[in-house]
Amino acid sequence: MDIEKIREDFPVTKEYVYLNNAATSPLPLPVIEAVQEYYETRKYGGLYYKRWHEVARKTKKLIARLLNADVSEIALVGSTSEGINIVANMLGLKGKGEVLLNDLEFPSNTYPWMKFRYKVVRSKKGRIDLEDFEKEINENTKVLSVSHVSYKNGFAHDIEALGELCEEKDIYFFVDAIQSMGVLEVDVKKAKIDFLSSGAYKWQLGPSGVGVLYIRKELTDMFEPPYIGWKSARNPFDFKLEYEPAEGAKKFEIGTPCHASIFGYKAALEYLFSIGIKKIKKRVLSLTQIFHENLENRLTPENTSGIFSFKYDFKIPKKFVVTKKDDYVRVSPHFYNTKEEVEEFIKAIQSRLK
């Protein structure tokens, strides 16, 4: 991995120490160029629509590869939240069961479920173990919904163990993967995930306005989309009066997507694959380990993701881009960051604590 060459693709590194990828990643130059390519075609109205459609098709193939899914199980959506809402509203939960949530979740993965009966599993010392979920499951539990990685403290759930638990208890398993896709390996088959959603704009280095909804193949025929549109049809360009649903997850796509974002998402995925997710994970965890070894008052229980949080009341120098919430700070380096940047940030923090 040629870090100096890679950093040339991230102009932000020339001005800032950017440690905020869990919020919004900077776009690498190839992604920006791909978005610009789309807008160049838009000069000609819809003459390049077939090209746009082909890019969307290839993007779904790349997403399927990233998740070890079949392309028929992939739908393009506008955001993580959109994907979560589709699933929450199609399962027929009203008055018919309970959803198991937890207190490490981002609101996008709690609010849509809260109009149904739900139970919240409480974390202990920043973590939730398999047994904590298991003892809260009962005959009314229908869905277990978790973020693979907590946005707040970076705790990574053992999704393979959770998937086994859900299969054993015969409940649906939903995963919000926005804080893991692009930096950790996510295998929907190994983890026995039923539904998954993620936006592209964090660790995957893509634009906002596009994301993925994964629905396990066996379930796509069992459920109907909570809303449909012309793109949900089997042959959308026939414009028939009668509706015939598309096969697979495609029926959950409703209308004209943000093609510019899809162009960028494809380029971002190609960029990640050119480096390798295993290499990215190894490098990111080596960077977060430096935080674990040098900063006290940490809220992150273990080094299993790209997020590290710690209690801190002082101002952060403007050179460092991080997330500051209430009395804690969250840092989230990606593979383009360097050991020197991390050490510089730690030194700045430690000098304020003296």
Instruction: Give how far Cα 194 sits from Cα of 66, 79, 88, 175, 246, Å.
Output: 16, 18, 12, 8, 19
User: Which tens digit of pLDDT belongs to each residue from 39-48?
Assistant: 999 999 999 9
DSSP symbol at 190: T
Averaged pLDDT, 5-9? 97
CA atoms within 13 A on the CB side of 228: 17
Q: Name the E strands within 179-222.
A: 195-199, 211-215
| pLDDT tens digit sequence for 173-204 | 999 999 999 999 999 999 999 999 999 999 99
Indicate the SS3 state at residue 223.
coil
Domains of the chain: 3-26+277-353 (3.90.1150.10), 31-273 (3.40.640.10)
Asked whether the predicted pLDDT for residue 33 surpasses 90, the reply is: yes
- Average pLDDT of span 137-166: 96
Residue 241 banded pLDDT, cuts 50, 70, 90: confident
Task: Tell me what percent of the residues of the chain surpass a pLDDT of 90.
Answer: 89
354 confidence band (pLDDT: 50, 70, 90): low
Q: Measured between alpha carbons, how far is 41 from 263 in angstroms, rounded to an integer?
A: 11
Total residues found in the chain within this entry? 354
Give 353's DSSP letter. Answer: H
Q: What is the pLDDT at residue 300?
A: 92
Is this prediction's pTM over 0.85? Answer: yes
What value, to the nearest 5°, has the Cα angle with vertex 123 and ends 120 and 127? Answer: 135
Mean per-residue pLDDT, 263-277 = 98
pLDDT band at 296 (very low <50, low <70, confident <90, very high): confident
Strand ranges (DSSP E) for the chain?
Answer: 17-18, 74-77, 98-102, 117-121, 141-147, 172-176, 195-199, 211-215, 308-311, 320-321, 323-325, 328-331
Sign of CA dihedral 315, 320, 324, 328: negative
pLDDT in tens, 317-350: 999 999 998 789 999 999 999 999 999 999 999 8
In this structure, of 240-244, 248-252, 264-268, the range with the lowest mean pLDDT score is 240-244
86-90 CB contacts, 8 Å cutoff, 24+ apart: 86/197, 86/213, 86/225, 86/226, 86/252, 87/174, 87/195, 87/197, 87/213, 87/215, 88/112, 88/113, 88/116, 89/226, 90/223, 90/224, 90/225, 90/226
Contact call for residues 72 and 217 (beta carbons, < 8 A): yes
Q: Tokens standing for 94?
A: 């009203």
Return the number of other C-beta atoms located less than 10 Å from residue 333's C-beta.
Answer: 30
Residue 264 has pLDDT above 90, yes or no: yes
pLDDT at 353 > cutoff 90: no
Q: What is the pLDDT of residues 69-126, one digit of tens each?
A: 999 999 999 999 999 999 999 998 888 899 999 999 999 999 999 999 999 999 999 9
Measured between alpha carbons, how far is 314 from 334 in angstroms, rounded to an integer? 24
Neighbours of 189 (CB within 10 A): 12
At position 338, the amino acid (one-letter code) is T
Nearest residue to 99 via CA among 80, 78, 84: 84
> Token pair of 337, please?
């960051």
Q: Which residue's structure tokens are 């109205």?
A: 45
Q: How far apart are CA 19 and CA 25, in angstroms?
A: 9
